[in-house]
Amino acid sequence: MAQAARLAGEAGADIIDINMGCSVKKVAKSGSGAALLKDLIKTEKLIKAVRKAIALPLTIKIRSGWKEGQPAYRTLARIAEESGIDALVIHPRYATQGFSGEADWLIVAELKERLHIPVMGSGDIISPSQALALKKQTHCDGIMIGRQALRTPWIFKKIKEMEAGGPPGQPDPEERRGWLISYWQWIEENYQGPAQIKALRRTLFVLTRGLPASGEFRQNVALAPTKERLKVLFEEYFESLIALE
């Protein structure tokens, strides 16, 4: 891990984050990700070795512990702070919970009170107003959004707008079209062949969920054989949405 961190630094990384939050089987069964929450003696050595190896900002992302009834976050957070970690992010669920139950934001508030380094919370945020409310309730220094960012990538911009006093809300069709165009370009640059059309379809599905007449649009998208046809469908659909405004 120390060597990997050093190499990542040499390759131009701005920050190193140690992933102790991933609970998926193939990661945890090798002792990585959230499995590190089970052996804090080993984890302390690991954090210290990485800290010694790099001068870059070093953060850790943790869960509350491996399984319910066995919280690890208090001890681990203390170890991390004493080892010179620059910030800590917690997804306050136990690893064995996966995504079931609810994220326990009281744990975020508790860690914020216990630690001197910045603490960030993650888990179950689905709207800008909820993001701001949780920040206020827990006094945490930052929040991380996972699943909802995949569904509504504009959530970060909307949070900033709300923080500056703007109203909550969804992007209008014009703005949404802008998001789709930038994703389209990114996908064209980064994917080729069948993977490209698959990624374009998936993006069109996700970013039009819940819009007027999106059912028919999505059916057409599913059947479109080429990228060119997808583009025509996309343009026609958004023109009709903008006309509805």
Binding residues for ligand FMN, total number by CB under 6 A = 14
Q: Is 120 in the site for ligand FMN (CB under 6 A)?
A: no
Window of 18-26, 48-56, 182-190, 216-224 that interacts with ligand FMN by CB under 6 A: 18-26
Write out the H or E segment, with its range, that includes residue 165: none
Interface region with ligand FMN, contact rule CB under 6 A, candidates 19-27, 67-75, 162-170, 221-229: 19-27
204 part of the interface to ligand FMN, by CB under 6 A: no
Among the options 1, 8, 13, 22, which is catalytic?
Answer: 22
Stretch that binds ligand FMN, among 39-47, 76-84, 120-128, 197-205 (CB under 6 A): 120-128
Query: Can you tell me which residue has the tokens 């690893």?
Result: 95
**HEC secondary structure over 152-216:** CCCHHHHHHHHHCCCCCCCCCHHHHHHHHHHHHHHHHHHCCHHHHHHHHHHHHHHHCCCCCCHHH
In the complex, the smallest distance separating the C-beta of residue 15 from ligand FMN, rounded to whole angstroms, is 14
Residue choice 65, 92, 121, 123 for contact with ligand FMN (CB under 6 A): 123
Nearest Cα neighbor of 145 from 163, 166, 180, 121 is 121
Q: Is 158 in the site for ligand FMN (CB under 6 A)?
A: no
* Helix, strand or coil, per DSSP, at residue 144: strand
User: Is residue 135 at the binding interface for ligand FMN, with CB under 6 A as the rule?
Assistant: no
Radius of gyration for the alpha carbons in the chain, expressed in angstroms and rounded: 21
User: DSSP string of 29-86?
Assistant: TTT-GGGGGG-HHHHHHHHHHHHHH--S-EEEEEEEESSTT-B-HHHHHHHHHHTT-S
Q: Determine which residue in the list 46, 51, 61, 95 makes contact with ligand FMN, applying CB under 6 A.
A: 61
Indicate the DSSP class of residue 171. P
Cα–Cα distance between 54 and 228 in angstroms, integer? 48
Query: Per CB under 6 A, does 35 bind ligand FMN?
Result: no
Minimum CB distance to ligand FMN smaller for 73 or for 234 = 73
CB atoms within 10 A of CB 213: 12
Q: Does 147 engage in binding with ligand FMN (CB under 6 A)?
A: yes
Choice from 124, 176, 237, 238 touching ligand FMN (CB under 6 A): 124
Interface with ligand FMN (CB under 6 A), residue from 4, 15, 19, 52 = 19
Examine residue 28 and tell whether it contacts ligand FMN (CB under 6 A): no
User: What whole-number distance in Å separates Cα of residue 5 and Cα of residue 106?
Assistant: 32
Listed ranges 130-138, 141-149, 226-234, 237-245: which one lies at the site for ligand FMN (CB under 6 A): 141-149
Active site residue 140: no
Q: What residue ranges bind ligand FMN (CB under 6 A)?
A: 19, 21-22, 61, 91, 122-125, 144-148
Catalytic (active-site) positions: 22
